[in-house]
Structure 1
């Protein structure tokens, strides 16, 4: 087992993020670009440890981190956090990119994002430092494109639970229902806003986001999604990829039965139980 190097990343607004850095194993062929592993909404970097460790053994330098307001990048009660998803894309990811480039002396990184972590390139002012995007379970999460139980529960959380919780307990209570860490109130608010209509972060343009770069992005963007994912459904994955009209986009559909799994869903691709999927992800990390 590899012990990652613990880093602190200072963002442009002086917010400090907690990060783990995994050096590429010298026993494997060295990969040309380092990998920035960006987490899903409410998910901590620890969730990705086994995968990041494995990826380093394949010759990749890997940096994972906690978004502001989440995990070890939360300081004080979550009810006091002013973090937002917009800040994740505009401040946190660029800061993590910068540190990874400095540590590896590379000119570009590969952005490997899980769910929200792979959906924010269009508001990243340093998008030109990204050689390729791999969006695992990446989609817009549009509520009308959801499936199964999630299609029922999402509107309840977005329209009732989050607004009420904002003014009572002061945060989005997602931990109690197994949806990762509790969310800062503005993360919960933006999550609901982004998923209320097609286009995800485009719904924040002119509100919490003043500039976006979707039309300027020309690097490959690949989305990996599972047929049993209730959030990143085929319709919602297509909705995300259409935001990059000048990029080479690709969808890779995964069927659980093909890999001898009962389920893959939205979260399981990074679990050790699903390690036979990791090579599928790794195969996309070349430019």
Structure 2
């Protein structure tokens, strides 16, 4: 009986010591946080920005092209005789801050933007299920579509876009993004047009293979323009990653590639043949030496 009591006491002390040791080791082990990467393949879902930034020191040259709508028929080669193009240079100052400058043939527009990664999605201890970025752009329209006696001022040609990019990589197959959007136009076509427009964007990515994804995008405009019979912007497409660039093939009812334009001025009906075929192609160059 005495031996049994000694054995019980020994195991009790041993378990207590082991548990205390595990508690000490756990308390001394730092919380390990692993950040989620590659929520989307590129910096664009399709027309709009994704939450992704390039790595610090990366200079990206981006060409975006949209043809006319396919319902124009054979005389216009189903839209291929018409085109709208945007080219841009985008530079990652840090892993979290990216700047861009572009020019579009639509309305002969220049645009500049900043995208800042506020919060990164993480997993493990103290994980956070979302990534959040801020996007802001300024647009300057140079198209001379006005009477000479009513030439607008420099300030009247400006418009601004502000977005929150809120995304989550649900798993290795599926990523989702929601994009609350505010657009301000310094001037409008008619008095009934709103200067301030609100919209909500939705985007998704489905991984088909290591190099190919299926993407979709939709923007709902809360208070659209009155001077145009506008439609909500819709796009579907695929991302193809090939070496140093991402190639996107796109079908969209929007012919423009700047947020202010495709969110507020899309007029084609996607489900009635008003679809523009297009593509985005980018090439990234690393500047400032190799990263460690």
TM-score (norm: length of structure 2):
0.27
TM-score (norm: length of structure 1):
0.28
Task: Name the larger-Rg structure.
Answer: 2
Higher strand share: 2
